[in-house]
């Protein structure tokens, strides 16, 4: 559907700005009016990671006058495969600061606001109020529902993108004119069911494909041109090289959003069963090392996927992916006369596997809190991380 422009035009463009944006200005649908609207726009990007990187670069290049960046993380070497706004010299630097420096190189006429804090129910509304439009490229469900609910409460539109391995999704949610994220996904998936990019991986260039579409939609919403993806979900398969569009409608029985909630609890980092199983059955990486040094007889199981195991593994660990614990196939592979010790990358998946294991009668089983990452940090920092 055609929608009115989100932002009023700025008073004027300078001579330098006219030169810079000339290829926009000669497009009839954009023209001087559209470019002035971009100049006057305030856009908040949640996350300066895989999707935030190309989005911020192209928003800046397009001439969006004010960009906000919400990110409290630091640049890690594993980010550079896809987070193109950062470089080798930025490793260890706050992502928000690194992103600002790249934006300033692209377009000195853009004002950049940094929000180097964790977005939560206490600060989301205050941060969002300073902007016209939000772009959400985060990879966790708690933040996605938080962004949606905050935008609904503030009557703000936002562009949403999602990526995983070779697949991507994009939509525009604007409760005033169409559906919201909860109409597409009324409830989060069961805890541990959907892996994050850190667990399942993502093709680096997919970030550019989806991120650029997100910016395209932002420009359309800001300037009032074209047909934004309001009420439509665009799905991209990079392996098959196909795009398809699915209609999304408002849920007439959807619960109204009246306040922000505890989104970590709503989405559940791990299931209640996993939390219960891990109580009193969690050891540290240092304790695992002591068990090895003392010659204790136990069976160490890595519940990650094969590709992860090939990158880095704890010495002596046997690979049995979490899925085999959930469907029961793993139980026949485990010894009955040894204590079973589980681990994953950071502890979430091993807790889920531990719950299944205890349910099958392995009462003395434990898991390693913090997983491989803790092992690297506490025991062997020479190992690669990912």
pLDDT digits (tens, 9 = 90+) for 9-45: 999 999 999 999 999 999 999 999 999 999 999 999 9
Q: Is 151 a catalytic residue?
A: no
Query: What integer pLDDT is reported at residue 273 of this predicted model?
Result: 84
Mean pLDDT of the region 225-248: 97
Q: Write out the two tokens for 314.
A: 């704890």
Percent of the chain with pLDDT over 70: 97
Burial class from Cβ neighbours inside 10 Å (0-12, 13-18, 19+) for residue 252 reads exposed
Active-site pick, 151, 207, 267, 344: 344
Percent of the chain with pLDDT over 90: 85
Q: Write out the two tokens for 242.
A: 């196909």
Nearest CA-CA partner of 95 in 61, 132, 138, 130: 138
pLDDT digits (tens, 9 = 90+) for 313-324: 999 999 999 999
Query: What is the pTM (predicted TM-score) of this model?
Result: 0.80
Burial class from Cβ neighbours inside 10 Å (0-12, 13-18, 19+) for residue 33 reads middle
Contacts of residue 188, defined as CB under 8 A and 6 or more positions apart, other chains included, come to 141, 142, 145, 266, 267, 268
Q: Coil, strand or helix: which one is 259?
A: coil
* Residue whose token pair is 């204590």: 339
* Residue whose token pair is 């706050």: 94
């Amino acid at each position: 559907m055609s929608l009115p422009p989100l932002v009023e035009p700025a008073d004027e463009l300078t001579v330098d700005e006219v030169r810079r944006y000339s290829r926009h200005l000669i497009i009839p649908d954009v023209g001087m009016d559209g470019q002035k609207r971009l100049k006057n726009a305030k856009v908040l990007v949640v996350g300066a990671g895989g999707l935030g990187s190309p989005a911020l670069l192209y928003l800046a290049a397009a001439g969006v006058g004010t960009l906000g960046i919400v990110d409290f993380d630091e640049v890690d070497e594993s980010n550079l495969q896809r987070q193109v706004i950062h470089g080798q010299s930025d490793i260890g630097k706050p992502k928000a600061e690194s992103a600002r420096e790249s934006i300033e190189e692209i377009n000195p006429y853009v004002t950049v606001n940094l929000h180097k804090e964790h977005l939560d129910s206490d600060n989301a509304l205050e941060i969002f109020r300073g902007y016209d439009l939000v772009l959400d490229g985060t990879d966790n469900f708690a933040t996605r529902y938080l962004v949606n609910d905050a935008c609904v409460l503030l009557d703000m539109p936002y562009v949403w993108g999602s990526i995983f391995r070779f697949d991507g999704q994009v939509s525009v949610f604007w409760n005033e004119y169409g559906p919201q994220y909860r109409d597409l996904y009324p409830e989060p998936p069961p805890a541990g069911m959907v892996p994050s990019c850190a667990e399942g991986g993502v093709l680096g260039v997919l970030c550019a494909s989806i991120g650029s579409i997100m910016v395209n939609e932002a420009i359309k919403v800001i300037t009032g041109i074209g047909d934004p993806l309001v009420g439509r979900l665009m799905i991209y398969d990079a392996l098959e090289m196909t795009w398809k569009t699915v209609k999304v409608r408002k849920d007439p029985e959807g619960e109204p959003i009246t306040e922000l909630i505890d989104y970590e609890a709503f989405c559940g980092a791990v299931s209640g069963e996993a939390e219960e199983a891990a109580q009193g059955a969690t050891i540290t990486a240092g304790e695992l090392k002591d068990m090895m040094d003392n010659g204790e007889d136990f069976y160490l199981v890595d519940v990650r996927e094969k590709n992860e195991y090939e990158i880095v593994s704890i010495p002596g660990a046997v690979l049995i992916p979490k899925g085999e614990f959930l469907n029961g196939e793993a139980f026949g592979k485990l010894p009955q006369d040894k204590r079973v010790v589980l681990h994953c990358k950071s502890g979430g998946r091993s807790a889920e596997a531990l719950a299944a294991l205890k349910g099958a009668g392995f009462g003395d089983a434990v898991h390693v809190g913090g997983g491989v990452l803790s092992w690297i940090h506490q025991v062997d920092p020479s190992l690669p991380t990912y």
